[in-house]
């Protein structure tokens, strides 16, 4: 009973209605399946009065509105595809003398939020609205908590639920009362399917690699640490799946990909979440030029699949994913935006430029990190249309092959869209001696206090020593790409259940008050 003392009055009333249903012998949570054969939007788009199939339909869904007219009522039902109106008349669902099922059960014990099933036929009301005329109505699940109230009139929504704290913490309720949210995640699913189909149709193989890793390799990031009880050793949640996918290239697969859940123990903002989804794929015998061509074609196809065209709305801007995309070197980008040529500068000179441009630095930052800060602070936000930033300094890219014609650079690109990085790609480093030296440079950065520097992965080096063919690889941020493709401004809006601080229970709040 202690659990009931903090209930609101509407919650107490609903629990009493549940008890009343039980007294009447009505199971509010029946186990048997309900024979759904029709859906709201299909009915409204396909109804033809002369067709027999509309004369015996079964729909099921959540009650989102009830308009009582005494001996009849209009009920708004929301199913998986949308909403439809049902007409419930007392004499139809209670054709005998006993009208208690309508008067004492439907009118008194059914609430907004309950799941019901309806048998009936489709008709058009006097006002021209396609509706379902109920001949039988069944309780399928009693809702014990009232929904947030959302009012609609003539296609407009009033009192919409917009509080982010509520929406992200109670995503299940957000999906019920904000139909556009469901649309966002349906588009996310279509986006991933389109990319997966595009890769499969070009001969790629989808694989799975470990989430728990003894070396957090493949990226420069701070990892989450856990403990493997059976092996009694520390493990890390993966920050990237790159090194495992390249092991598979060593093993003889020519093209592998994975939609990977990665974890980085870092900050949270509108474009960063500690748990995120990334697509990585690696292709033998290709380079970063080929990868740019393939990536822009894949994203062009994705935009068309979601929007029917290559242009995508993004706030007050319009993004165009029509291939080819612009290409510019990172040094030229910095020069264009600052007027300073940093291509030949050493660490001290770069630090002085950062100071001149009021960019904060730390002693642990090496040459690569300083160039990264310059680009991030002064350039990144200027690239709105899809643009490949190419040819990075070797210090920024410990897993990338040195440039074939430009000393001190590597064959790498980042794809910038709407001022943010969406993808990162390389002509992969397959020289095991060079790779070991790059790892050792990362260790030196770690010793200087850089907690994002890479560990040495000795097993990966051993794999490279068996020989890895020339390879191109890429990582694409699926969450950020989804933000662009669905016109959402926050990464939390494209994650079904974004991380939040633990919610305090009512008893904890009471203890604080006392």
Instruction: Please give the residue that has the higher pLDDT: either 224 or 152.
Output: 224
Superfamily name with CATH number, domain 9-147: Nucleic acid-binding proteins (2.40.50.140)
**What's the whole-model pTM score?**
0.89
Q: What is the pLDDT of residue 164?
A: 87
Strands (E), 288-383: 311-314, 317-320, 326-329
- Read off the pLDDT band of 509 (50, 70, 90): very low
Residue matched to tokens 């949308």: 82
Query: Is pLDDT above 80 for 207?
Result: yes
CA angle 46, 94, 83 (to 5 degrees): 30
Mean pLDDT, to the nearest integer, of 36-61? 96
Q: What is the pLDDT of residue 42?
A: 96
- Read off the pLDDT band of 5 (50, 70, 90): confident
Q: What is the pLDDT of residue 513?
A: 46
Q: What is the pLDDT of residue 158?
A: 44
Task: Give the C-alpha separation, 241 to 470, whole Å.
Answer: 19
Q: How many CB atoms lie within 10 A of CB 182?
A: 15
Query: Is pLDDT above 60 for 167?
Result: yes
Instruction: Please give the residue that has the higher pLDDT: either 131 or 501.
Output: 131
Mean pLDDT, to the nearest integer, of 354-363? 92
- Read off the pLDDT band of 506 (50, 70, 90): low
Q: What is the pLDDT of residue 450?
A: 72
Query: Is pLDDT above 60 for 507?
Result: no
Percentage of the residues of the chain whose pLDDT score is greater than 70: 94
User: If you compute the radius of gyration of the chain from its CA atoms, what whole number of angstroms results?
Assistant: 29
Mean pLDDT, to the nearest integer, of 386-405? 90
Lowest pLDDT segment from 17-21, 260-264, 359-363: 359-363
Query: Is pLDDT above 70 for 487?
Result: yes
Query: Is pLDDT above 60 for 345?
Result: yes
Highest-scoring range by mean pLDDT, 143-152, 295-304, 396-405, 428-437 = 295-304
Give me the helix-helix angle, 458-465 and 242-250, nearest 10°. Answer: 20
Tokens at 213, concatenated: 């890793």
Beta-strand relationship, 225-228 and 233-237: antiparallel
Q: What is the pLDDT of residue 4?
A: 67
Lowest pLDDT segment from 61-75, 83-97, 389-403, 485-499: 389-403
Query: Is pLDDT above 80 for 357?
Result: yes
Query: Which among 75, 78, 94 is positioned nearest to 86, based on CA atoms?
Result: 75
Mean pLDDT of the chain: 92
Query: Is pLDDT above 70 for 440?
Result: yes
Query: Is pLDDT above 80 for 268?
Result: yes
Give the contacts of 183 (CB within 8 A, at least 6 positions apart). Answer: none
Q: What is the pLDDT of residue 103?
A: 94
Query: Is pLDDT above 50 for 17?
Result: yes
The residue ranges of every structural domain in the chain are 9-147, 180-325+385-494
Q: What is the pLDDT of residue 211?
A: 96
Beta-strand relationship, 255-263 and 233-237: unpaired
Query: Is pLDDT above 50 for 342?
Result: yes
Residue 360, φ and ψ in degrees, nearest 5: -70, 140
Query: Which among 261, 240, 257 is positioned nearest to 248, based on CA atoms?
Result: 257
- Read off the pLDDT band of 359 (50, 70, 90): very high
- Read off the pLDDT band of 397 (50, 70, 90): confident
Residue 319, φ and ψ in degrees, nearest 5: -95, 140
Query: Is pLDDT above 80 for 387?
Result: yes
Mean pLDDT, to the nearest integer, of 233-257? 96
Instruction: Please give the residue that has the higher pLDDT: either 56 or 220.
Output: 56
Lowest pLDDT segment from 153-157, 217-221, 409-413, 477-481: 153-157
Query: Is pLDDT above 80 for 220?
Result: no
Query: Is pLDDT above 90 for 280?
Result: yes
Lowest pLDDT segment from 12-16, 130-134, 451-455: 451-455
Written out in words, the top-level CATH class of the domain with range 180-325+385-494 is alpha beta
Residue matched to tokens 């009362």: 177
* DSSP-based three-state secondary structure for 434: helix
């Amino acid at each position: 009973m202690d659990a009931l003392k903090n209930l609101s009055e509407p919650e107490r009333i609903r629990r009493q209605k549940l008890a009343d249903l039980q007294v009447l012998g009505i199971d509010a949570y029946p186990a048997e399946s309900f024979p759904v054969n029709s859906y709201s939007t299909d009915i409204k788009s396909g109804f033809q009065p002369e067709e027999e199939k509309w004369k015996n339909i079964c729909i099921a869904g959540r009650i989102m509105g009830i308009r009582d007219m005494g001996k009849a009522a209009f009920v708004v039902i929301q199913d998986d595809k949308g909403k439809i109106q049902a007409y419930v008349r007392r004499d139809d669902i209670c054709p005998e003398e006993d009208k208690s099922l309508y008067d004492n059960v439907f009118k008194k014990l059914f609430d907004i939020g309950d799941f019901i099933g309806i048998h009936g036929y489709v008709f058009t009301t006097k006002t021209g609205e396609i509706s379902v005329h109920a001949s039988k109505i069944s309780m399928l699940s009693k809702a014990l908590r009232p929904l947030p109230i959302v009012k609609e009139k003539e296609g407009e929504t009033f009192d919409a639920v917009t509080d982010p704290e509520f929406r992200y913490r109670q995503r299940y309720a957000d999906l019920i009362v904000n139909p556009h949210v469901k649309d966002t995640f349906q588009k996310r699913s279509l986006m991933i399917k389109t990319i997966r189909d595009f890769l499969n149709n070009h001969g790629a193989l989808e694989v799975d690699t470990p989430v728990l890793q003894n070396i957090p390799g493949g990226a420069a990031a701070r990892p989450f640490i856990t403990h493997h009880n059976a092996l009694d050793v520390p493990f890390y949640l993966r920050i990237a799946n790159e090194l495992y996918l390249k092991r598979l290239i060593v093993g003889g697969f020519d093209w592998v990909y994975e939609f990977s859940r990665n974890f980085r123990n870092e900050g949270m903002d509108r474009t960063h979440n500690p748990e995120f989804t990334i697509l990585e794929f690696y292709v033998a015998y290709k380079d970063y030029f080929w990868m740019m061509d393939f990536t822009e074609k894949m994203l062009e196809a994705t935009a068309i699949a979601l929007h029917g065209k290559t242009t995508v709305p993004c706030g007050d801007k319009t993004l165009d994913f029509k291939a080819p995309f612009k290409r510019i070197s990172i040094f030229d980008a910095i020069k264009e935006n600052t007027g300073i040529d940093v291509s030949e500068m050493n660490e001290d000179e770069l630090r002085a430029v950062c100071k001149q441009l009021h960019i904060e630095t730390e002693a642990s930052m090496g040459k690569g990190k300083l160039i990264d800060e310059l680009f991030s602070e002064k350039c990144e936000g200027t690239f709105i249309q899809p643009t490949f930033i190419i040819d990075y300094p070797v210090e920024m890219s410990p897993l990338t092959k040195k440039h074939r014609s430009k000393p001190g650079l590597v064959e790498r690109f980042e794809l910038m869209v709407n001022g943010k990085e969406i993808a990162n790609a390389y002509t992969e480093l397959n020289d095991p001696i060079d790779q070991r030296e790059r790892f050792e440079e990362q260790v030196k950065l770690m010793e200087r206090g850089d907690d994002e520097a890479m560990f040495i992965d000795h097993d990966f080096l051993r794999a490279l020593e068996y020989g890895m063919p020339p390879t191109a690889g890429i990582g694409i941020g699926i969450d950020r790409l989804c933000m662009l493709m669905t016109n959402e401004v926050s990464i939390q809006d494209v994650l079904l259940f974004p991380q939040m601080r633990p919610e305090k229970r009512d008893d904890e709040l009471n203890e604080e008050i006392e």
